[in-house]
Amino acid sequence: MKLTFTHSALALIGGLAAQALEPPEPIAPSKWAGENIVLPDGEYAGQKIDLARTPHIVEPLDLLGPDESVNEIGVIKCAQSAFTTMLQCAIGHSIDRDPCDMLVVQPTDGALTDFNSTKLNRLIEMTGVLGGKDGKPGKVYPQTSRSSAGSTTYEKKFQGGALNLALASSPADLRLKTIKKALCDEIDEYEDDLEGQGDPLELIAGRQISFLASGTWKRAYVSTPTIKGVSKIEKIFEGGDQRRWHVECPQCRERMVLEWHAPFDPSSYGLKFNKAFPFNAHYVTKCCGTIIEGWQKVAVYRTGCWIPTAPGPGKFPTYHFDALASPFVPWEAIAQKFVAAGDDPTKLKTFWNLYLGLPFDVTGDAPDHDLLMQRREDYKEGHIPAGALLLSIDADVQMRGIYVEVVAWAPDQQSWTIFADYLDGATTDVDSGAFAELTKLHAREWPDAYGNKWRFDEFGIDSGYRTDVVYEWTRRHPGTKATKGIDGWGKVPLGTSTDQDVDYRGRKIKGGAKLRQIGTWPLKSKFYTYAALTPIVQGSTLIYPPGYCHFGRFLDENYFKQITSEYLEDEVYRGRTRKVWKPRASRPNHFLDCRVGSLALVNAYFVSFTADDWARRAKERGIPAELQAPDLFTPREFQALPVGVGGKREESERSSSSRDLPEPKSTGLYGDGLADLNKGTW
C-alpha cells in the first residue's frame, strides 16, 4: 500500500514536470491570431482580430507556421492589402508557439520605424500573451536600459529566441547571426548590391543555411512591385505557383479573378467606369456578363479562395493580390486614380504598382531629334509664355564652360524651353569665367506675357564636376541648390538636403553648402514620355496635352541631339537583367542633364500644389485677374468631384493630383500601406 502510494506520488510529480516541459498544443497561426491578437485602434479597437474579414491572408499566414512543410512564400501586392498584418500575426504566433531567432527586414529607416513603433510594438502591448496583462508578464521581455537580457528598440527578446529588425541597406544588420525565419518586407526597394558586399536577399538567405538540413526554415518575401523587368518581387512571383484570389460570380457561381481589362469598353468584361465623374465603377463578369456593383465588392471578395495559376512540381506558393479584390479600396477610388493619372507616366506607375500590384513597364527611348526639331514654335527666346507659372534653371558644369537651360512650367506640367546656352569660360573660380555668366542668370529677370518680370523659382547646379567651386557658388547665391545625379529606379526625384559644410566637431555650419541627390533614371523616362506627346488637332486649334514639351525656333540641332542622347538598355547585372540608361556613342548629354535637373526641382510643386495654390501664385505673379481663378487650374476630370466618393469627404474634395485618393477607413492593424499610397514619387 505504501509502495502504491509512493508510486502514484512519483507519477503525479513526473506528470507535472512533463506538463511543464511539453510544448503547447499545435495551433495554426490564423487560429492563434484570432484568439490572441487585439487590435490597437481603428473601427475595431480593443477587439480580437477577426480574420474572417480578411480571408485572403489566412492561407499564406498559416504556411508560415511550423506545422506546414512549405519553406518559402512570395507575395506581390497592392498597397492596402493587409499583408503587413499577416507578417505581424506570424511574428506573434512564432514568439508564443514556435520561439526561435527571427529577422524582419525593411528597406528604409522610415519603413523600419513605422513597422516597429506604429505596428509591432502596439501589437505586443495589446496582446496579453506577448506584452503581459493584469500585472502578469508577457512572453516578450520588456525594454530595460540596464539589463542586457531585456529587449531593445530593434531586438525583441523572449524565451527561446529573439526577433531582430534589420535594414536591408546595412550589411552589418544582415550578418548578425543564424536565423530560422526571415520576413523580408518591401523587397523591391532593396539595393541590388550593398557596396560590393552582395545582394541583401542572398545575405539573408545565407544566415539560414544551418536550418537547411532540418527543413524548418521559413522565408517570406512581400512587396509592392516597381519596374517591369527590374522588380524583385515580380521574379519571385513568377518563379512560384502564382496563386490568384478567385471569387465566385454572384450569378452563375463560376470562380474567377477580378481583372483589370479595357475599363472604358462597355462590351467586354472587367472593371468598368466612366472617364469623368460620376465614375459609376462596377464589374462585368467574364462568365455570364453579370454586373457587380461597388457596394457588393466586399461580399464578393469574401467568397474568394487561392488557386494556383501556374502549378508545377517543386514550385513554392506565390500570391498576387490587388486593389480590384482588396476590401480596403473601393472600385470608385480605383477609377478616380486611373482617370487622374491620364498620360502622366509618374502617376501611371503609381497606379500600376500601388493599385494593380503590378510592375510598371517603362518605355523611354528618346524621340527622334529631327521630329522634335520640326515641332519648334515661334515663341520668343527669354520670354515666359502665357500659361506658365514656374521658372526653373539648371546648370551642368564642365571643364571649360557651363551648360544651362531655363524652363517655364504650367500647372499641368506643360513646359517651354525659353533659354538654352553654353556659357563659355573657365570654371575654376566662382567670380570669373563661366561662373560670372551664371551669376548674371541668377540675377536676371525674365519678362512674361503680361508685362511682368520674374526671377527663377528653382535653380539647380550639378556638383559632379568642380564640386568645391559649385558649393562655394551656391553658398554665395541664395535660392540655388547643389545637386548630384544618382542611378537606380527606386530613387525619389529630389532627395532631402544633406549638409556638406561641417566644423571640426562635425557640426553643420549655418549657411553652408547643401547637396541634394537627383534620382535621374525615372525622370529620364518621364521626360521622354512627355517629349513624345503630340498636340491634338481640334478644328482649327491645337490642344496641348498635360506634360507637353514646347521648343522654340531659337534652339539648334545640337540642343536636340543632346536632349535625346540616351536610351534604355537591358543589362545583365549579377545574374539579373535590369534596365539601365545608356548614352549614345559620341553624343554629349549635358542639356538632357539640365532638363532632368529641372524636372527634379519642380516635381514637388506638381505633387503638392492645389488649384488654390496655383491661383495664389498667378495672383502673386501679376497675371490678369480673369486668369487667376482656381478652376482654371483644376484638372478637367475633377471639376465636379463629389463628396464622399468611397472615402472621407475632405479627401475627395481635394483636386490635387497627389491627394486625390480617398483614405480608407482605418481598421487598426489592417491599415497597412497608408503611407505607401502617398509615396508615389515617381
Instruction: Figure out which of the listed residues 13, 212, 288, 298 binds Zn ion, where binding follows CB under 5 A.
Output: 288
Give the nearest distance from C-beta 332 to Zn ion in angstroms: 23
Stretch that binds Zn ion, among 80-88, 231-239, 288-296, 589-597 (CB under 5 A): 288-296
Strand partners, 221: 74, 184
Give the nearest distance from C-beta 289 to Zn ion in angstroms: 7
Give the nearest distance from C-beta 248 to Zn ion in angstroms: 9
Q: What phi, psi does 270 have (nearest 5°)?
A: 110, -175
C-beta of residue 317 within 8 angstroms of C-beta of residue 243: yes
Strands 72-77 and 218-223: parallel
Closer residue to Zn ion (CB): 80 or 285: 285
C-beta of residue 83 within 8 angstroms of C-beta of residue 672: yes
Closer residue to Zn ion (CB): 130 or 325: 325
C-beta of residue 40 within 8 angstroms of C-beta of residue 121: no
Going residue by residue from 589 to 628, which x/- string records binding to Zn ion, judged by CB under 5 A? ----------------------------------------
DSSP for 615-678 reads HHHHHHTT--GGG--GGGGS-GGGTTPPTTSSS-HHHHH---GGG-SPPPPP-GGG-TTTTGGG
Closer residue to Zn ion (CB): 287 or 533: 287
Instruction: Figure out which of the listed residues 102, 203, 249, 358 binds Zn ion, where binding follows CB under 5 A.
Output: 249
Instruction: Figure out which of the listed residues 252, 371, 502, 629 binds Zn ion, where binding follows CB under 5 A.
Output: 252
Instruction: Figure out which of the listed residues 287, 305, 492, 627 binds Zn ion, where binding follows CB under 5 A.
Output: 287
> Could you tell me which of 75, 78, 81, 110 has the C-alpha nearest to residue 183?
75
C-beta of residue 650 within 8 angstroms of C-beta of residue 662: no
CA distance 516 to 204: 31
CA distance 8 to 471: 86
Stretch that binds Zn ion, among 251-259, 412-420, 477-485, 487-495 (CB under 5 A): 251-259
CA distance 367 to 351: 25
Q: Report how far apart, in Å, the C-alpha atoms of 379 and of each of 73, 534, 550 are.
A: 58, 18, 9
Total chain residues near Zn ion (CB under 5 A): 7
Terminal Cα-to-Cα distance of the chain (whole angstroms): 84
Give the nearest distance from C-beta 582 to Zn ion in angstroms: 49
- Does residue 285 bind Zn ion (CB under 5 A)? yes
Closer residue to Zn ion (CB): 45 or 252: 252
Closer residue to Zn ion (CB): 257 or 287: 287
- Does residue 117 bind Zn ion (CB under 5 A)? no
Give the nearest distance from C-beta 242 to Zn ion in angstroms: 23
Closer residue to Zn ion (CB): 254 or 381: 254
C-beta of residue 480 within 8 angstroms of C-beta of residue 404: no
Closer residue to Zn ion (CB): 16 or 252: 252
Sheet holding 282-284, edge to edge: 270-272, 282-284, 291-293
Going residue by residue from 628 to 647, which x/- string records binding to Zn ion, judged by CB under 5 A? --------------------
Give the nearest distance from C-beta 253 to Zn ion in angstroms: 7
Closer residue to Zn ion (CB): 294 or 433: 294
Give the nearest distance from C-beta 283 to Zn ion in angstroms: 11
Stretch that binds Zn ion, among 62-70, 102-110, 243-251, 305-313 (CB under 5 A): 243-251
Instruction: Figure out which of the listed residues 8, 144, 153, 251 binds Zn ion, where binding follows CB under 5 A.
Output: 251
Q: Report how far apart, in Å, the C-alpha atoms of 562 and of each of 7, 252, 423 are.
A: 94, 59, 16
Closer residue to Zn ion (CB): 285 or 463: 285
Residues of this chain that interact with Zn ion (CB under 5 A) are 249, 251-252, 254, 285, 287-288
